[in-house]
Structure 1
Amino acid sequence: MTDRRRLGIRALLLALLLPVLVALLALDAWNDYRTISQVTSDAYDQVLLEPIQALAESITPDDKGEPLLAPAFSVQAMFESTRSRHKHLHVSLRALPDGPERTLMGVDDLPAPPASEPGVPVFYDARYRDYPVRIAALRQPFDLPSGARQELLIQAAESSSLREQALADSWQKALWNDTRLVLLMVLVVWLGVWLSLRPLERLRRALAGRRPGELAPLDTRGVPREVMPLVEAVNQHIESQSRLLAAQSSFLADASHQLRTPLAIMSTQVGYALREPDTAPQRETLQAILQQLGRARRLSEQLLALAHATELPAAAAPASGHADLNAVAREVVLQHLPLALEKQQDLGWVDARGEAAADAQDADADTDAGEPADLDADAEEHDVAPVRADPAQLHELLSNLVHNAIRYTPRRGRITVSVTLQDDMVVAEVSDTGPGIEPERRSAVFERFQHGTTAGTAKGGGAGLGLAIARAYARRMGGDVVLEDAPSIDGMHGGLRAVLRLPRLGSDPIRDNTYFEDRRPI
């Protein structure tokens, strides 16, 4: 069931971008507000400064040293002509250092300015007659001819409402522009994501319109570069599933073909036995049926073993537990001795400990047979060739190798099973004096239902699954099985040698560079 509460890419991008855009808008608006406020204040302050400077230049002393105000009144008239309301001038004269102040022009109750240097204008905010005003003030020396020191104070005040209104208008325009920019960016992001997702929508429609079981790769034309790895991964998965289904179909077809043959033979034999009135031929027929049942049972067991060995790759299902490869190989040799004796074959065993050490340790084992051993705690101490493997799977692996050697080795031939320790690896070898396999065909015989030799197939009647099972189990255990030429033994021509290599328990296949060898699937 689809989770409709999950955000889509468009909504997710907007959810991520909108807070950032709003934060940037707020920061930009704050910077704009400070800039506009500074520019507006500077402009209006300049308007206030002009009449003050004009008055400072127009007021001059007369013959008696008194301020001459006639030009100053014209400046006042010009200052108040634009908008007389909320505009005020003030000119006063004060004897220094602490003489009384005498108003010469304008109102006489403007708020006093802060301390300032003579000749340097100052600007300050105040309240006058219950409304806020901005005031510019200038102190200027006005000395008398007698040498008496006086100071001229010139003030120009204006209501702050005009500049505040201008600032608000400019701020609203800037904020509206930023809002439109954000809306435009949201629209661009929405359209950009919509256009970018159109190839994915095309892929979705293509997948939805496929027939069941269709595993063709997805068309990558027009797919965005950022999404290409995802589509390629899907194509790789489709390809792996196609190979898996093809292998399963081939396996089922081959298995059904292999099982159909003994069933057809037994069906014919049963029909013959039913028509035969004599009991002796019936017993012979039943004996033949019993042999076919044994072959069918062996084939079924091998098919189950192969399915179990290949159900998970080695990297995904590492072998658990541990086993002594030397002990398991010795047990397999003992179990197959009767089969080898039936064919008058010499089935030999070479212990990893050497003959003398093996006999001595076997004697000790017989003496202490009644005492239980802690295999998990003392595996590396007691095991001769410890490996990380399931004992049952290891037994099945070696049984297939030894059984194949017995099957294809002619009568009075020789088969030797040996275990050796080589650095961080444990090696088990099964060598025979059989016909062998041509080097160019050795990789093919590891495939399902492939036989080593035609002659061997005709005589042994095998299904061609032994080597496939052996390699599948070996790779699950972190090792592999390879085929090589066997050396000559006591003048007998060497045939085939199956070599099993497994990491020794306690070694690190990745560190020892044995894990990344050729591991092509069976």
Structure 2
Amino acid sequence: MPERKRPISIHRRLLRYMLAPLLLLLVAGVAVDHSMIVSPIHSAFDRALSRAALAIVARIHRGPDGQLAMSSPEHPPPAPRPFANAEPLPPPPKSMHGEGPSPTLRGMGGDVFFYRVSLPDGRSLAGTPELPLAPPDDKAADGFSFADITFQGEVMRLASYRTVEDGEAVIVTVAETPARRDRAVHRMDVSFGLNDTVQMAAVLIIALIGIRISLRPLQRLSRQIANRPAQALTPLSTDEVPSEVRPVVESLNTLLGTVRNSVLSQQHFMANAAHQLRTPLTGLKAQLEVLGRETAGSPLEERIALLHGGVDRLAHTANQLLTLARAEPSAHRASHYTSIELPHLIGEVIESSLDRALAHGIDLGADCQHVQVTGVYWLLHELLINLIDNAIRHTPAGGHVTVRCGANDGQAFLEVDDSGTGIPAGERARVRERFYRGAGSTDDGCGLGLSIVDEVARVHGAQLSILDGSTGQGTRMRIDFPASS
């Protein structure tokens, strides 16, 4: 057996189609944000690095011996320098001659900081002499040039400042590891990533809420179709149907109209056929009755009696077929349903069936409680006639047939209880089939009685149950109506 496919969900399809583009937009947005923040962050740290170089320049002066020297915090330069905003550095050596290179300096946040003061000819005056110089930048008007290098196994950012101090050209070079830069970029990436993710999730949630609200007309249409009774073939309302679904509803209305016309045509055909059969059958029965009286006592009397019985069965079958056709759910409108007093209905049907029950020697009675149901009167009349007719057919002389009605837990019921031969449990499902006749059926039945009963019960939303008789023998046919009845 092929595996049944899961129904397509519009919610899941829209979510699938929206989620992939939104994820791509999220990745693209994070990448764009990263590219936009990297350059300003590096520029800010380069400016800080350049201010460190300017702070070193501010400490350079010419000593009494005529050589350039760098002052310490304890011995400030003899004249103030124009670098009041320069960042302070740890104290460098007191002299730039004869004291060797300065030790490695520790910057903020775990960064390693190096510096070097040199002359254009390459001689180092202070700092780390192995520190390379950044190539000159002809486009820079402020004398600074920057480069990325690897020094002592560390990736570093390098800045060289070319200036003139007391008439002598000096190059101040500073370098630091990029730990703070990387942390700043990482923090910004996380911040922008979380912000973009929250915004994208909010957009997705709002979109899903909007989709759910937009699909409410479809849900209302679904409930409208599900709550329609089976016999309703009227067109569906298109007043609140979205324009995208309107063609589907209009096609469904066209189909309903086609089915309604087909059902009406079938009903008209059955009514006309039954009417056309009744007239000649009635005339044929009348002629057979006359012929029977004329041939009384002759050898033809028995054959005419058999022929008369066959015509009776034919007329009965035609009436049953017409009733079955008229019992179709689509043949009844809501206006056909009225409030029906079951005791009153039972009284009418028993009165019309009493003569037949007496002719068969059967005690026909009723046990009724006051109860009402909503239904089509003539259909319930036919249902009860068929139940009593079947009970009389299958109950021997001297037996009884009792019709009951009442209510259990707010549900109305109608049942016909007989003391006849009963229906075996294995045949109780098949006796509802059309033209099925059990082993105990009489010759004058056509096998449509319980089919009509079952069809009428379905029209009223009721349930037909075939049970054992209340006295332990026979059959009890019970109709349980829905609570709304």
* TM-score class normalised by the smaller sequence: 0.3 to 0.5
| TM-score in terms of structure 1 length | 0.44
